[in-house]
A and B are shown apart, each in its own frame.
Chain A
């Protein structure tokens, strides 16, 4: 099977804090992988290392065959990323922001691509509004559109649904499922367990920077268990350890 992400004992230390502690994992094409963990467990740091935004202290990672330390720009050209904090530049309008990203990525058919996303996420009426005046949910839609504009085959998403209303959440979940069924790959981080249980193929549970568990969601639910008690047992058990 085709490896989209391969991490080898990836570690990041911030001073004395070990944000990510020797995580190895691999994700294949078409997978919807969810990285779950409590606040401060290292999810964002993991995504930032995998996309060449932060340099690992040790270990290595390849994304779509590219070394993230050697080739960070190429990695970010290929993948789509939705960062944790949605910060589009404040004095561009939503439409201008998407065009701006499209120009950075050197895309063609910019209008058509943007229109597609304004329609799909239902925010055509906000395209002329300055980003700083957008509501948080709309800003998150914009960041979603931004990440998929170049039709990447791998997307890394940090907390995808937090500010969206239930209708939009449904839509985005369905979109992500459709995207992976057509061969796209998703790496998302979340601490909302229901989302993970509903849409992820496979999950990893991270706590204090260490990967406590990685496995298929089916295997859990198939054996009659639910993600939430499993997660809580695992994380609480780890504190005691």
Chain B
């Protein structure tokens, strides 16, 4: 069924994409960093065991890997555009299938296989190694090491195959996707308590949760392979000029032509609205679901508040979409400054931020619509989103997609954001009103942004 040579070629391709696009040597340190984080993270477990019991920590890890799987899946789907922008007409092997004497299904199956093995080696294995190294110090039975690896891998694969499944639906019809999402949401809502099979497997290893997990992986994956459609960008697309009318409408904001261009990039790039679904609404929806599960275990927390924190972090990745199709080298010969570009991107970001705000309103309404927790949650969303965005811009300028994979940059990103986020979460557990203190992040964000405008100004773009 699978094609060994093709599989190897794809593995090599994936590694080269990462190591050439993402700073060679530094990329190789990425797994090492995961080991280090997992090690120290595990060491701190006993200190928090009152607030966060081991079982909850395990659940959090499961959720994290579920989301990582979903993210890897969506990157695979958007990979072609990303590559085209960076390397001209270069294409991933998976997209040139027409030039190979192999069926699309087999190529896609191989592609999934490659993602599975590559990312388990890159994410799950290092995480487990870090955890394993910490077990002697925190008196956890080493038997859990194997169990952790297996269940996290299962969680990751469920995320990956779910996204592939949904994207295959999307490729066939948007309505089909919408209907499926509604049915799934209703089913989950109806089921009340949901048990995540890999988590059950971790708590109580047995045949039943394992089989259930595998079904959750294999069935969606099989459907997406069987019904895969690869659409070739064959016909030349033509569009009437909409830049001017858009720019006219945006002119009160200034830099209107840049904002208009960002809008057209987003609307016309492959996926279009699908991108919003797969890299924003889907992870956000998953997080919301997971939080609903989590509050059954940790009674003290306010799900809306934690949701607002996470939503703020995810919102800041909107900046990655905005910079994805742009490289400063396409402006370097025009009278444009990096700071001007950053300003324009921030304005586009401000407009798109209405989306997470709408999501929060929706979530608040779903939890009963009490205004009291909503105001602090909104403050948290706005400040976290502004602050994580400012850190991203400060550390990566106009190139977040590339630079965040630089291990050193990523470490600084985590150090700059995670303590602050944890503080907000803990403060809000004491009293939701404390979360209003997060508004202090807004001036911090403004300071970082003004520093980045100047800092990136002098950066010479070597034109990758």
Q: CB distance A76 to B335 under 8 Å? A: yes
Residue B231 interfacial (CB < 8 Å): no
- Report yes or no: B325 in contact with A104, Cβ–Cβ below 8 A: no
Residues of A within 8 A of B265 (CB): 89, 91
The answer for the CA separation of A133 and B89 in the assembled complex, in Å, is 10
Which B residues are in CB contact (< 8 Å) with A89? Answer: 261, 265, 325-326, 330
| B337 engages A128 (CB within 8 Å) | no
CA distance A74 to B261 in the complex (A): 24
For residue A36, give the distance in angstroms from its CB to the closest CB of chain B.
21
A3-11, A79-87, A179-187 - the one binding chain B: A79-87
- Annotate B293-333 by CB proximity to A: 1 below 8 A, 0 otherwise: 00000000000000000000000000000000111011011
**Interface residue? B85 (CB, 8 A):** yes
Q: Once the chains bind, are B243 and A92 in contact (CB under 8 Å)?
A: yes
Question: Is A96 at the interface (CB under 8 A from chain B)?
Answer: yes
Is A91 a contact partner of B268 (Cβ separation < 8 A)?
yes
A95 and B241 form a contact (CB under 8 A): yes
Residues of chain A touching chain B, judged by Cβ–Cβ distance below 8 Å, are: 48, 51, 53-55, 73-74, 76-77, 81-83, 85, 87-93, 95-96, 99-101, 103-105, 110, 128-130, 132-133
Contact B329 A129 (CB under 8 A): no
User: What are the residues of chain B within 8 A of A85 when measuring CB–CB?
Assistant: 329, 463
A130 touches which of B85, B239, B334 (Cβ 8 Å): B239
Whether B333 and A76, one on each chain, are in contact in the complex, defined by CB atoms closer than 8 angstroms, is yes
List, sorted by A's number, 11 A–B pairs whose CB atoms are closer than 8 Å: A55-B460, A91-B269, A91-B325, A92-B243, A96-B242, A96-B264, A99-B244, A104-B257, A128-B239, A130-B238, A132-B84
What is the interface of chain A mostly: helix, strand, loop, or mixed? mixed
Q: Tell me how far the C-beta of B155 lies from the nearest C-beta in chain A, rounded to whole angstroms.
A: 36
Closest Cβ–Cβ distance, residue B60 to chain A (whole Å): 38
Given contacts A88-B330, A90-B85, A91-B269, 14 further A-B contacts (CB under 8 A): A48-B332, A73-B336, A73-B337, A81-B333, A83-B329, A83-B332, A89-B325, A92-B261, A93-B239, A96-B264, A100-B243, A103-B257, A128-B238, A128-B240
B257 touching A130 by the CB < 8 A rule?
no
Flag if A101 contacts B247 (CB, 8 Å): no
Chain B's closest residue to A47 (CB) is: B333
With contacts A104-B257, A129-B237, A130-B237 taken as known, whether A92 is within 8 angstroms of B264 at the C-beta atoms is yes
| Residue in A77, A82, A103, A130 whose beta carbon sits within 8 Å of that of B247 in the complex | A103
B236 within 8 A of A: yes
Q: Name the residue of chain B whose CB is nearest to the CB of A143.
A: B333
> Which residue of A87, A91, A101 is within 8 Å of B329 (Cβ)?
A87
Output the nearest chain B residue to A93 by Cβ-Cβ distance: B239
B330, closest chain A residue (CB): A87
In the bound complex, CA of A85 to CA of B327 (Å): 13
Q: Give the residues in chain B near A55, CB-CB below 8 Å.
A: 460
Closest to A81 in B: B333
Distance in angstroms between the alpha carbons of A53 and B327 in the assembled complex: 14
Residues B327 and A87 in contact, CB atoms below 8 Å apart: yes
B230-257 vs A, Cβ < 8 Å mask (1 yes, 0 no): 0001001111111110010000000011
B460 adjacent to A100 (CB under 8 Å): no
Closest-by-CB residue of B relative to A74 is B335
A203 CA / B395 CA spacing, docked (Å): 44
Q: Chain A: which residue is nearest B235 at the CB level?
A: A133
Once A91-B264, A100-B243 are accepted as A-B contacts, the answer to whether A129 and B238 lie under 8 Å apart by CB is yes
Chain B hits for A132, CB < 8 A? 84
Cβ–Cβ < 8 Å partners of A100 in chain B: 243, 257, 261
Smallest CB separation, B234 vs chain A (Å):
10
CA distance A98 to B329 in the complex (A): 17
Residues of A within 8 A of B261 (CB): 89, 91-92, 100
Query: Do residues A53 and B332 form an inter-chain contact, with CB atoms below 8 A?
Result: yes
